[in-house]
């Protein structure tokens, strides 16, 4: 009743399904199975986070070094408080570094770009970057442009 | 008065049918197998006929749908100068929607209809009564292995469908249309999240598998045991199954992705 | 004379608004062959399904070995059914198992016998129906008569106390009919089983039955030994036995309000 051939095909089918699952997880979603990497947290306050979402990349010179953990409103200052996880081996970010919300391509996603400062002292867990540059909002840009060309006349 | 009475009657009939089908489902899942070894044998047999035999149609349609999506997506995205995003489009469309939905529709047509016909024929040839007469519960012996096999196979098939679709799209966009493969993968990986996209798609497939297999085995079990009755039941499996998949997909999509 | 094995008491049964039995009472003696006969559509198969409790009567009760089968719990009912074997009209062999597996199935399901014992008993049962050579065939490879004999071997594989035959002779050639008649007789006598035979094949049934019931119009119209039935003067019985086209059972289908005509077969529980 139970033939070896059937069993072989059923086994192969299940293996194929699992392989496809791993393929999707690793290759398509870029999930790393190495477990959670060691990270430390730093925070930054922005006037306007303009469409940044949690899990967005944090980059230095275009290389991803961390992700955004959470974005909440700082109720006292009325600013967006962004907490990010930085890979533990990137432990040499000077405390006077600046951070900006950037856009990949014209319609792409928002991400954070760190620009390295000159101080000898480095950021550690829980510290804050004070030099922040908010997201560029298209409407603000246009109105600035109009206002500027107005005043030049 | 009359139309209201008719409405009430048909609503109550419908409710009764759903209730009966629900009891049927619960009974067939919670029948404990008497002999584990035999139960596993039966399950393997069904995994073969429900899963392995559906593999070809799933792989072929997955590859073609991925290729078509890549072609269409490329021609539109090229207008915005962002051809690289074709990978992102492909992956999200397949993982979130097309993978689970198209697989479930194909499954209803390929495996669901044959389950209904097989069970219907067993009923017509008195095999189900025969099990009962031997003191063997047909729900446990006939229905349960088929139902469980369906619920295991459809999610696996859906994952295989998505994976072959992405590979098909990869071939078309990277090898034929010349999209840069680094950008193809990195944009895809950036926008595809394991838990929201892959897992939600998987959950959809699991929900569809329960509904489609349930409809298929129930229609077979409850069919009028004549050749005409089996034909009607098979048609009902495909029609009801497909409609249920599409309606359920809307509900699940609204619940999963509605707040984006 | 002999002990009653099955007692049907005042059973009323209707389905889909049609009354099939109005008030049927009959008794089936232990260790004998009882033939239940009647024109098509009088619910002969329904009677077997009622005895096996696959269907429940509207009122009245059915006692099998002094147990009311319709009040039993599911588990107890399945226990009682193990004492029953049933030969379905279509044979109802499991199409995905070979002949030997079909016959072994009830034993594997309900006994703790070893594999060797089971295969020994399978070949004994096959031998008793004369089909030992067909053990490895699939049901689709059997002729109609062979399939019915295999089904018979399966029905008796647990050595039941009661075997029910649903139209065993229908669609069989004269040789197969003869084989089945002698098999039924042999099995009944050698294993001391009670047999219930539902049929409208008058000659075959009367030739082996110890006890005969004739059903018509939802009632028992005659009950007794084969000789008594043959000697009956009841016009309905005579019409049925002699196959007269018109008589108390009309040739013409009633135009309205008739409720005993439709063939019952195939409407499973």
SS3 sequence, B83-132?
Answer: HHHHHHHHHHHHHHHHHHHHHHHHHHHHHHHHHHHHHHHHHHCCHHHHHH
- Mean pLDDT across C167-176: 80
Alpha-carbon distance of C142 to C134, in angstroms, equals 8
Could you tell me if C103 and C122 are in contact, meaning their C-beta atoms sit under 8 angstroms apart?
Answer: yes
pLDDT for residue C249: 67
Could you tell me if C214 and C37 are in contact, meaning their C-beta atoms sit under 8 angstroms apart?
Answer: yes
Mean pLDDT of chain C: 79
pLDDT for residue C54: 81
Could you tell me if B110 and B216 are in contact, meaning their C-beta atoms sit under 8 angstroms apart?
Answer: no
- Closest CA–CA distance from residue B191 to any residue of chain C (Å): 49
User: pLDDT tens, A26-69?
Assistant: 888 776 554 466 888 999 998 888 878 877 888 888 788 888 88
Interface check for A14 against chain B (CB to CB < 8 A): the answer is yes
> Which of 90-129 (A) contact B at CB < 8 A?
105-109
Neighbouring residues of A26: CB distance < 8 A, sequence distance ≥ 6: A33
CA distances from A52 to A55, A101, C234 (A): 9, 8, 96
Residues of B in contact with C269 (CB under 8 A): 129, 132
Instruction: Tell me the residues of B at the C interface, defined by beta carbons under 8 Å apart.
Output: 34-35, 38, 45, 121-130, 132-137, 225-226
Domains of chain C: 1-83+160-232 (3.40.50.300), 97-159 (no CATH), 234-269 (no CATH)
**Region label for C217, one of left (φ > 0), alpha (ψ between -120 and 50) or beta (otherwise):** left
Closest Cβ opposite residue A30 in set B41, B155, B189? B189
- Mean pLDDT across C95-114: 83
Q: What is chain B's alpha carbon radius of gyration, rounded to the nearest angstrom?
A: 21
CA C30 to chain centre: 15
pLDDT for residue A24: 86
Other Cβ atoms within 10 Å of B246 Cβ, number: 13
Helix segments in chain C, DSSP class H: 44-51, 74-81, 99-110, 115-128, 144-155, 174-191, 202-208, 226-230, 235-242
pLDDT > 70 in chain C, percent: 90
pLDDT in tens, chain A (153 residues): 457 888 888 889 999 999 998 888 888 877 655 446 688 899 999 888 887 887 788 888 878 888 888 899 988 888 889 999 888 888 888 888 899 988 876 666 788 888 888 888 888 888 888 888 887 777 777 888 888 766 555
The answer to whether the CB atoms of C266 and B124 lie below 8 A apart is yes
- Mean pLDDT across C101-130: 83
The answer to whether the CB atoms of B133 and C82 lie below 8 A apart is no
The answer to whether the CB atoms of B135 and C82 lie below 8 A apart is yes
Alpha-carbon distance of C269 to B94, in angstroms, equals 44
User: pLDDT tens, B153-199?
Assistant: 999 999 999 999 999 999 999 888 888 877 788 778 877 888 888 88
User: pLDDT tens, C127-137?
Assistant: 888 887 777 88
pLDDT in tens, chain B (260 residues): 788 889 998 999 888 888 888 888 888 777 766 677 778 888 888 999 999 999 999 999 999 999 999 999 999 988 877 777 888 889 999 999 999 999 999 999 999 999 999 999 999 888 888 888 887 888 888 888 899 999 999 999 999 999 999 999 999 998 888 888 777 887 788 778 888 888 899 999 999 999 999 999 999 998 888 889 999 999 999 999 999 999 999 999 998 877 65
**C250, pLDDT greater than 80:** no
Interface check for A22 against chain B (CB to CB < 8 A): the answer is no
Residues of C in contact with B133 (CB under 8 A): 52, 54, 81, 84-86
**C248, pLDDT greater than 80:** no
Diameter of chain C measured on Cα atoms: 60
Closest Cβ opposite residue A9 in set B48, B82, B189? B48
Strand partners, A79: A74
| CA geometry: angle B71, B72, B73, nearest 5 deg | 95
Segments making up each domain of chain B, as ranges: 37-254
Alpha-carbon distance of B95 to B253, in angstroms, equals 12
- Closest CA–CA distance from residue B41 to any residue of chain A (Å): 6
**Which structure tokens are listed for C181?**
């008649």
């Amino acid at each position: 009743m139970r033939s070896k051939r059937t069993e072989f095909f059923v086994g192969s089918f299940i293996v194929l399904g699992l392989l496809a699952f791993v393929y999707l997880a690793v290759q398509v979603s870029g999930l790393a199975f190495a477990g959670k990497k060691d990270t430390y947290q730093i925070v930054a306050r922005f006037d306007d986070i303009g469409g940044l979402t949690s899990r967005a990349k944090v980059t230095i010179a275009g290389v991803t070094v961390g992700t955004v953990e959470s974005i909440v409103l700082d109720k006292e200052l009325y600013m967006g408080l962004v907490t990010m996880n930085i890979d533990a081996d990137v432990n040499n970010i000077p405390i006077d570094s600046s951070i900006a919300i950037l856009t990949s391509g014209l319609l792409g996603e928002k991400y954070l770009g760190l620009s390295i400062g000159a101080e000898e002292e480095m950021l550690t867990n829980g510290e804050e970057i004070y030099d922040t540059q908010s997201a560029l909002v298209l409407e603000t840009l246009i109105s600035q442009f109009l206002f500027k060309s107005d005043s030049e006349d | 008065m009359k139309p209201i009475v008719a409405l009430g009657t048909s609503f109550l009939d419908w409710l009764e049918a759903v209730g009966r089908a629900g009891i049927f489902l619960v009974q067939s899942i919670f029948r404990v197998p008497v002999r584990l070894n035999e139960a596993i044998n039966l399950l393997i047999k069904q995994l073969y006929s429900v899963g392995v035999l559906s593999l070809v149609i799933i792989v072929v349609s997955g590859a073609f749908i991925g290729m078509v999506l890549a072609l269409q997506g490329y021609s539109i995205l090229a207008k915005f100068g962002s051809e690289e995003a074709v990978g992102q489009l492909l992956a999200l469309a397949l993982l979130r929607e097309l993978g689970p939905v198209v697989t479930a529709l194909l499954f209803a047509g390929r495996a669901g209809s044959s389950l209904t016909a097989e069970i219907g024929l067993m009923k017509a040839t008195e095999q189900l009564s025969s099990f009962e007469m031997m003191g063997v519960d047909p729900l446990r012996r006939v229905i349960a292995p088929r139902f469980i096999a369906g619920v295991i196979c459809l999610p696996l098939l859906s994952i295989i469908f998505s994976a072959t679709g992405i590979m098909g799209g990869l071939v078309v966009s990277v090898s034929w249309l010349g999209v840069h493969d680094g950008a193809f993968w990195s944009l895809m990986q950036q926008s595809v999240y394991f838990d929201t996209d892959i897992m939600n798609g998987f959950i959809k497939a699991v929900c569809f598998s329960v509904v489609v297999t349930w409809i298929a085995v129930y229609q077979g079990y409850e069919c009028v045991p004549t050749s005409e009755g089996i034909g009607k039941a098979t048609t009902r499996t495909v029609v009801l199954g497909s409609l249920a998949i599409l309606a359920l997909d809307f509900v699940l999509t609204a619940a999963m992705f509605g707040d984006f | 004379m002999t002990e009653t094995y099955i007692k049907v008491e005042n059973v009323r049964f209707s389905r889909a608004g049609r009354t099939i039995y109005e008030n049927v009472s009959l008794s089936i003696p232990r260790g004998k062959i009882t033939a239940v006969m009647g024109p098509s559509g009088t619910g002969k198969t329904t009677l077997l399904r009622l005895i096996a409790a696959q269907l429940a009567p509207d009122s009245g009760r059915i006692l099998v070995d002094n147990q009311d089968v319709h009040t039993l719990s599911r588990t107890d009912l399945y226990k009682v059914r193990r004492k029953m074997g049933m030969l379905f009209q279509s044979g109802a062999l499991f199409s995905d198992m070979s002949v030997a597996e079909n016959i072994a199935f009830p034993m594997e399901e309900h006994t703790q016998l070893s594999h060797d014992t089971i295969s020994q008993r399978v070949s004994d049962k096959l031998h008793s129906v004369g089909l030992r050579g067909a053990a490895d065939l699939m049901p689709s490879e059997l002729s109609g008569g062979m399939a019915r004999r295999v089904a018979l071997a399966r029905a008796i594989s647990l050595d039941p106390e009661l075997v029910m035959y649903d139209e065993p002779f229908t669609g069989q050639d004269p040789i197969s009919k003869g084989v089945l008649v002698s098999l039924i007789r042999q099995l009944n006598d050698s294993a001391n089983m009670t047999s219930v035979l539902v049929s409208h094949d008058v000659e075959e049934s009367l030739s082996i039955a110890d006890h005969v019931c004739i059903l018509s119009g939802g009632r028992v119209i005659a009950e007794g030994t084969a000789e008594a039935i043959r000697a009956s003067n009841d016009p309905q019985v005579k019409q049925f036995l002699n196959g007269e086209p018109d008589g108390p059972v009309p040739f013409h289908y009633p135009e309205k309000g008739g409720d005993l005509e439709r063939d019952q077969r195939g409407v499973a529980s």
